[in-house]
Amino acid sequence: MSDLARTPRQIGTIIQRARKKRDWTQMKLAERAGLRQATISIIESGERPAKLESILAVLAALDLEFRIEERSKGHGSDIEDLF
């Protein structure tokens, strides 16, 4: 799985897709990440800021990783087409 995310909403969408692919509820993901279900909901919606530590815990629970790379030269609309 290799997805590009540049906004909190895009990160949330990727996390939600990975969770649903595993057929997990938000509650199950929260338990595995050591967080509250409400925190998972906040992260997946991308509407409110989430702590980086919480996002990293969720990614670890989903066996995903966070990478930092140079920004590609694609257009913003191209990114939105991914989601």
pLDDT, tens digit (0-9, with 9 covering 90-100), for 24-57: 999 999 999 999 999 999 999 998 999 999 999 9
Q: What is the CATH number of domain 8-64?
A: 1.10.260.40
Domain parsing of the chain, residue ranges: 8-64
Radius of gyration of the chain (CA): 13
Closest CA to 10 of 55, 37, 45, 59: 45
DSSP state of 1: -
User: Is-above-0.85 flag for pTM?
Assistant: no
Confidence check: pLDDT of 2 > 90? no
